[in-house]
């Protein structure tokens, strides 16, 4: 299996509860390596741009407001089959449906405040990584 990269966000509900380390530990236990990481306050324009794919969905405004409600930690993760590996340890979007041991089952507050974002394909991972990181900020 090839070593690939994916993009992760530790969302405001998790940074507010001081869970950056706890979430990152779950990612590392799952075989992912943090090869870039920074804590940022997303602007409204950044959040709207990042989630543009969801702009027709009824929760778009709420989602953008949530994502700018506090700091987030954006990360690039590396590992074998990184996109799937990260989606597996994240768990289902709604924590009520998330499997035991997943980040969302352990930590998420709601379907919106669900602690983590993870790219859903390698193509989107590349786009999302480039949205937040310059190549020289990623050190594998």
| 68 sits near ligand GDP (criterion: CB under 6 A) | no
| 8 sits near ligand GDP (criterion: CB under 6 A) | no
| 62 sits near ligand GDP (criterion: CB under 6 A) | yes
| 122 sits near ligand GDP (criterion: CB under 6 A) | no
Burial class (CB in 10 A: 0-12, 13-18, 19+), 56: exposed
| 112 sits near ligand GDP (criterion: CB under 6 A) | yes
- Asked whether the beta carbons of 95 and 11 are under 8 A apart, the reply is no
Question: What is the distance between the alpha carbons of residues 63 and 111, in angstroms, rounded to a whole number?
Answer: 10
Active site annotation includes 117: yes
Query: Torsions phi, psi of 102, nearest 5?
Result: -80, 160
Q: Count of CB atoms within 10 A of residue 88's CB?
A: 13
Of 25, 44, 59, 131, the one binding ligand GDP (CB under 6 A) is: 59
Q: How far is the CB of 136 from ligand GDP (least distance, A)?
A: 28
Cβ proximity to ligand GDP: between 44 and 93 the closer is: 93
Catalytic residue chosen out of the listed positions 117, 119, 129, 132: 117
Closest alpha carbon to 47 in 90, 96, 11: 11
Which residues lie near ligand GDP (CB under 6 A)? 59, 62-63, 93, 111-112, 114, 117, 120
> Would you name the residues annotated as active-site residues?
117
């Amino acid at each position: 299996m090839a070593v690939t990269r994916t993009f992760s966000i530790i969302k405001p509900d998790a940074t507010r509860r001081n869970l950056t380390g706890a979430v990152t530990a779950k990612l590392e236990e799952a075989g992912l390596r943090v090869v870039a990481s920074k804590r940022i306050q997303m602007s409204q324009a950044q959040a709207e741009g990042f989630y543009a794919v969801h702009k027709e969905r009824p929760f778009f405004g709420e989602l953008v407001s949530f994502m700018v409600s506090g700091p987030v930690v954006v990360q690039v993760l590396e590992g074998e089959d990184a996109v799937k590996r990260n989606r597996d340890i994240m768990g289902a979007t709604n924590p009520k449906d998330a499997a035991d041991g997943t980040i969302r089952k352990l930590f998420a507050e709601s379907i919106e405040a669900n602690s983590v974002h993870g790219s859903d394909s390698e193509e989107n991972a590349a786009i999302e990584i480039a949205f937040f990181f310059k190549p020289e900020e990623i050190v594998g």
